[in-house]
Structure 1
């Protein structure tokens, strides 16, 4: 038996290749068919109907892990059909194929399925209310999985970052080298989550093989604003010599940084169910940040 991994070249997929290999042989898939480092993988384009599902039917893996998503939140407002295709229609095809082959599906969703208006961390059974095309299509993908009859795990996560790929951490480090001041939104709150940690608990969850399908919230502990995250990034990077100086971080309102899509103001997710069902201790987001900064420093040396 084997594991099919879609999106193996993304920031989460890269970490999943590492962690999942401890469980079984991994069929790593990317849109180009190439993996990081120039290695060959399976070519699967989610914009093409049935490509991913056909691979599942051919390989009949024990598990399928989907780390592919259309995540260009603002562009999705102008490309709703493509976002729907990748985040919902392709997911429905994958889920149907998993139901046919008996494969367990692990799929990642997002805090954007919620409205962002809450006074406590969001629980799995809270009412959804996406504010954007991205959130709407991700919610549609969740619904397609639940309706398929396959065995599934849906992990909702948020504010994911890593030492590689395009993410807030790497953007802040680049800007820190260019500017004396960073003006960052301070009225959106969430839990920065390391892709390495998310990959590790994903592997643990698949190994545990829960008998019942379900949805779990998977984010680091604690919360902060984007501005506070930026401050922590600069401070930790400066402490280890990853940057030569730390710029001043100035908090601004979301209204001062208008975007095409509306972002949820409060994205903190309640991980009680995750911790209970998988006997996990969830680390504080600062711990994950320090580990990734150290990883980047090691790669530089």
Structure 2
């Protein structure tokens, strides 16, 4: 928990970390504070997103008809570099899970499951949007990913936070799947950066790893959630990724995805996926197996599997 950095402080912190920073015209006063009557801060951490598109810097600045800009504090292009988009309250986080927010404040690890949307994340989280389709196939250039690590490290360093003050959008808001790389690995990279002097030499990873789905936890969810009470969640992050993959490949309607519950509709959709792979009988009962789940992750590009 801290007072938000001024525009000058934020800019200086990013540059001190070794980043080249571009300034969008008007970014210093571009925010949603006056329009919403809410003041940005106190701040609790930084939030990482992917844009789900290309060439969307101006979209992040201006927003959409249903969601006014700024949609982040900084935008990071594949080749266009890092741009300052807004300063103050930005429409990037939305409603987040209060338990997760409190864990960021306390710098607890691992983060709890985000099974509620009961706190305003726009008030208290810095947001970075990374230009990427987020489909698991669109690569993050090494330099782009490295700049994202530096951005998060710079803010954490200035506030005296550790890497445990960093979260991905999918970790704080139910139904989200961004960013499309593994946040545990990202936090480890931020930790490594914070252990160095700012602006020091770092060898960037060539490709960030994709999110991981734990097979045993997913099986438990598939066996537990259908008969549980409405809204019960066993494995939020993994279920959301699997449902997003089933939606992407045409086996599940988008309406039924994103609530974190591996319910009967998801079981039916997964069974269809198993039959598509040639399984039948008990091998196509909608309960994930390692081979079918691994192939789902590979075909969708959204995740890898750990047993």
With the shorter chain as reference, the TM-score category is 0.3 to 0.5
The alignment's TM-score, normalised by the length of structure 2, stands at 0.32
The alignment's TM-score, normalised by the length of structure 1, stands at 0.33
| Larger strand share, 1 or 2 | 1
